[in-house]
Structure 1
Amino acid sequence: MTRIEQVISPQVHLRGEVTPEVSAYAVAKVMAVLHHAPGPVLRASLTLDAAAPGDRVDAHVNINGVGVHVHGVGSTMQEAADLMQERLRSRLHHLRRRPQQGPRIPPPELGEPIGVTGAS
């Protein structure tokens, strides 16, 4: 398994009453997974939301140009972080196994209508 040594620390956004210990726990969970990312981590952000129904942790990461978003909802913030970590690990494993399933379609040229194939 590949281990990426240089991983950027995620930007952390807090909503509601989130303790520094819980925030550090969630960051450690994300960092543990990102060290095994299938490519360079270009961006990472983490949102801990204690104000949502149930505690919620969202992770947004960009692995070599491929955006990945996962979340976990639990009865505690730690449980939500654990669920988020498992989902992120699974998504990155999928990217490693099927790298060709990243973004394939280039964005349309400026001025080109979306969804028009050119056939009349």
Structure 2
Amino acid sequence: MKYNFLIEKVSLSKYFSIEIITPEHYVLNNFRDTGWTPQKVQSIIDGVHKSKNNDPEKSFDWGNEDVYMRSNKYGVFFIDLMAQRAGRKLDKQDLVLDHPEFIDFMKDFKKFVEQNS
């Protein structure tokens, strides 16, 4: 997976965003939230790590208005909520990552947030 992290400024506010370069991972472009802090990123890392052996009924879930994420023993799953609002019918999740790949991605993002906060 290839990606860049960006700082976007709107008025006096600063936002951290993600630019996904590999097309198959596009849904992660929507993995954003206002107020990213190292602690918020770490809470997602911790949730995914703790859920990696859990059955689906004990998944770790996170989402915003554009993407929904679920982690359990089968991997980390993403659903593009923007595409659904645009009328796309969902027949399967948009992306599945293994736990180490997603955790490494989030550790990189956490480092970026720490360096730019």
TM-score (norm 1): 0.29
Which structure's residues are more often helix, by fraction? 2
**When the two structures are superposed, what TM-score results if normalisation uses the length of structure 2?**
0.29
Q: Which has the larger radius of gyration?
A: 1
